[in-house]
Amino acid sequence: MRSIETDVAVIGAGSAGLQASREVQRAGKRWLLIESGPYGTLCARTGCMPSKLLIAAADTARRVRRASLFGVQVAPEQVKIDRRAVMERVRRERDRFAELTARDTEALPAENRLRGRARFVGPRELDVDGTRVKAKAIVIATGSTPTIPRELSKLGDALLTSDNLFELEELPESIAVFGTGAIGLELGQALHQLGVRVTFYNPFDTLGPFTDPEVARRFRKVLAAEHDLALGAEVTDVRFDANGVVLRHRETTGGRQQERRFARVLAAVGRKPTLHDLDLQKAGIELDDKGVPVCDPDTMQCGDSGIFLAGDCDGERPILHEAVDDGAFAGANAARHPQVQHNTRRVALNIAFTHPQLAMIGKPFKALEHQPIAIGEVSYEDQGRARVIGQNRGHLRVYADFASGKLVGAELFGPAAEHTAHLLAWVVQQQLSVADVLKLPFYHPTIEEGLRTALRDVAHKLSERAAQDCEVTSEFPGA
Ligand SMILES: Cc1cc2nc3c(=O)[nH]c(=O)nc-3n(C[C@H](O)[C@H](O)[C@H](O)COP(=O)(O)OP(=O)(O)OC[C@H]3O[C@@H](n4cnc5c(N)ncnc54)[C@H](O)[C@@H]3O)c2cc1C
């Protein structure tokens, strides 16, 4: 049996594993990158990039359809979506991204790469399709896999996930989207704009990731005006034949039964860590009740072992920049193990490229609702720039700590939310107070002025509270 000895073995050549390998290399240690699938990463092949390419096509269709708002007349019969051409561009550009990433991976020295499926045979030993790998430390960076609801598992080719959606030669005529989180909404809304008949299904009566009930309520109202939503819908029967899939569902409130036919079904109900075939019980580390190794998010170390986690496989923060940070922490610590260094994580920043875009920054409302915070808000309905560009749908709520006056979080949807979200994340991470941020320049007329309105609102509430505190103090001067 072939045997390899190394300092750090990294399982998975995705964004997290590649970053981990770079860190080990930088530390001057021996390393081995193991990959069972194609090079190119989930992000480039089936994740961030192809989904944003599909959304770019959808945004173009939306702009053309709405052109008459600005007096630019495009007759509805002139707007034709070429279902094949849309997918051809998605794949062409996607392939370019994936090939560039794959080429970078293939350019790594051959002695540092091993193709095959890794599984543990001991805490510091792996089997990779018959090759034994002994390592002083191991980084698990095996990513995640779409969850398939049980009732959909029999659908065969009619069932899609983000893993195979982008392989379609042309857009389907209709699709049922299971899941109303970021991925379900991004893909379902894009397909809807591209002329696909879409219904969103969710057994729970929720839409989107918001934890702030006011933002969630307004977001739902905006989406309900445009989309067919089957929320709080219990699917009671799934049948399929040569003409597609028939779904029967019961509304959980009211109990009304409905039946609809679709060409395809998209499962977007979440993703689970890809850990099932690693034989983790032989790794000698603690697993949680879902079978995921317990690890410290500041070191990515599992207990005090030589095993580290990175990326989507830890079941937390399943977004790209966090996966890369995980990889950096895990790789650097695996290289210096048994010494490990604690890192400070960046402020949480989540964006979904829905329409309107949505974002959550810093601490979510749910974590703050019982804390002493002031809330400032703005609606984009009458915001100057948003009206100018005809994208005046949205709402922003910012949260500031009463004691320090610092911004601690925000939830929003609206025009250019991706940019507002970055500004907010940067000031939250810099621990700026609301007063500090209001001293910064805001150009006119911009979407950022909407942010300023919300900041002024929260500043006002902070000063009202400060005034009340003074009154209380002066009433009881000795207290
Ligand atoms: C549709 C979609 C859209 C997304 N959009 C965004 C977005 O807009 N912005 C954003 O920040 N994030 C987005 N994400 C999330 C982002 O893509 C992921 O967080 C990130 O790519 C995860 O990287 P990773 O390295 O953990 O996993 P991966 O890139 O999946 O790498 C894991 C690798 O491990 C390999 N592997 C697994 N098991 C083994 C084994 N036993 N042996 C050897 N190799 C193994 C796999 O083959 C794979 O190559 C999106 C995800 C999806 C699905």
pLDDT digits (tens, 9 = 90+) for 346-386: 999 999 999 999 999 999 999 999 999 999 999 999 999 99
In this structure, of 9-13, 249-253, 268-272, 427-431, the range with the lowest mean pLDDT score is 249-253
Q: How many percent of the chain have pLDDT more than 70?
A: 98
CA-CA distances (angstroms) from residue 448 to 28, 188, 336, 457? 45, 28, 44, 14
Tell whether omega for the bond before 338 is within 30 degrees of 0, i.e. cis: yes
Cα-to-centroid distance, 280 and ligand 1 (Å): 20
Nearest CA to ligand 1 atom 21: 43
Nearest CA to ligand 1 atom 5: 48
pTM of structure = 0.96
- 80: exposed, middle or buried (C-beta count within 10 Å: 0-12, 13-18, 19+)? exposed
Question: Average pLDDT in the 447-470 region?
Answer: 91
Cα(185) to centroid(ligand 1), Å: 19
- The reply to whether ligand 1 has any atom less than 6 angstroms from the CB of 182 is no
374 lines ligand 1 (CB under 6 A): no
The SS3 call for residue 330 is helix
Q: What pLDDT, on the 0 to 100 scale, is given for residue 476?
A: 44
Ligand 1 center to residue 163 CA distance, Å?
A: 11
The pLDDT of residue 466: 74
Render the burial of 147-183: b for 16+ CB within 10 Å, e for the rest: eebeebeebeebbbbbeebbebeebbebbbbbbbbbb
Is the beta carbon of 350 within 6 A of some atom in ligand 1? no
Give distance in angstroms: CA of 43 to centre of ligand 1: 6
Whose Cα sits closest to atom 6 in ligand 1? Answer: 48
In the numeric block, the tokens 């949260």 are attached to 399
Write the single-letter amino acid at 99: E
- Ligand 1 neighbourhood includes 140 CB (under 6 angstroms): no
User: In 3-state terms, the chain is what percent helix, strand and coil (to 5)?
Assistant: 40, 25, 35
pLDDT of residue 471: 64
Residue 141 alpha carbon to ligand 1 centre in Å: 9
Query: Distance (Å, rounded) from C-alpha 376 to C-alpha 347?
Result: 20
Our answer on whether the CB atom of 147 is closer than 6 Å to any ligand 1 atom is no
- Residue of 320, 329, 351 to test ligand 1 pocket, by largest number of atoms within 8 Å of CB: 320
Residue 183 CB–ligand 1 contact under 6 Å: yes
71-98 mean pLDDT: 95
Is any atom of ligand 1 closer than 6 Å to the C-beta of 458?
Answer: no
